[in-house]
A and B are shown apart, each in its own frame.
Chain A
Amino acid sequence: MRRLAMIVPTIAVVAVLTTTAGAATIVLVAKQLTTATDSAPVFVPLTLSTANNRGPAGRADRTDTTTVTFSEQVNQSTLCSGWSNASNTQTLNTVTLMLNDNAGASGNDTLTVGAVPATCGSGFHFGTIDTGSNAYVTGGVVSFTNSTITLAQTANSTTLVLTFGTPSAARGIVAAGTAAIYTPDPAIHDIANHAVGTNQAATTTTVQW
């Protein structure tokens, strides 16, 4: 839980300089001045990237990948209940990834994790990626069956790779979009029990896959 470490309210006098036809006027205005210090987020998604491994750039195809890295070791059971931190690598096969048509708050298509193997119990707590365009899919959800999710951890990082499986329908080809933004599932915590909170990561690219 983050909280303000110090709040010091004071009354300040702010000088506002205006000019009228070459004449300067100084107006003194009383304002409330507040300073505070907040501790910085510790556990955040660091990077989001995509890779085109098949088909034209700008279209989500089988074997294309989406990669997220985190700033700390994730408590793996907060992603998938059946995973244990005893291993630094994990693989889920027979995952269904979903490209959801215009499902983002922005109206863009989103990428989410759908069905996963029973080892994950109630599901895989990934979160949502706003793809930065509404044209990756049109006319409804496209499901990618037999997709995979892999996890790899080092002492101070975690990498998740989502690889598309077989698509259920045709996809669009995006020529221009905006950066994709990953919003993690708030259930995700690191091994020191820091929540990922509302921190997000964006791609450097504006066309994905």
Chain B
Amino acid sequence: MSYLTTNGSVTQVSMTGLPAGCNGAVVGLTLVNAVGASLGSGGPVVVSGGAATVRPLTANPAPASVTNVQLVAIGP
């Protein structure tokens, strides 16, 4: 899981190393803070080659405010 930041905010989230069985699945994600509140979300995108890049996000939080990234995958 890695970020692309622009001007101090998360603008893209990339996932790599996903299991081969996830290829073709559709994934979405939500960035959450320490109490589980959503700070932004993105997707759906299709997993290909064990990777997926989610952009744009509904909001662009500062990395320091994000504690966890919740993922949902459907399929393949």
A residues in contact (CB < 8 Å) with B: 2, 5, 12, 14, 31-42, 44-47, 69, 71, 156, 179, 181, 197-204
Contact = CB atoms under 8 A, between A and B. Distances in A.
A139 to B, nearest CB: 31
Nearest to B27: A34
Q: Which of A34, A35, A197, A202 has the largest number of chain B CB atoms within 10 A?
A: A34
A202 B2 contact: no
A46 B11 contact: no
B1 A38 contact: yes
A34 B22 CA distance: 10
B74 to A, nearest CB: 5
A46 B74 contact: no
A131 to B, nearest CB: 16
A204 B68 contact: no
A69 B47 CA distance: 31
A33 B25 CA distance: 9
Contacts of B4: 181, 199-202
Contact of A197 (B2, B7, B8, B67): B2
A71 B72 contact: no
Given A5-B68, A38-B68, A40-B63, A32 B5 contact: no
Interface residues of B, number: 27
Nearest to B36: A37
Contacts of A202: 4-6, 11
B8 A46 contact: yes
B57 interface: no
B59 to A, nearest CB: 14
Q: Which 9 residue pairs are nearest across A and B when measured between Cβ atoms?
A: A40-B66, A198-B2, A34-B73, A36-B71, A199-B2, A202-B6, A46-B8, A38-B69, A200-B4
Nearest to B64: A71
A41 B74 contact: no
Contacts of B75: 31-32
Interface string B1-19: 1111111100100101000
Contact of A198 (B14, B63, B64, B71): B14
A40 B72 contact: no
Contact of B3 (A5, A34, A44, A203): A44
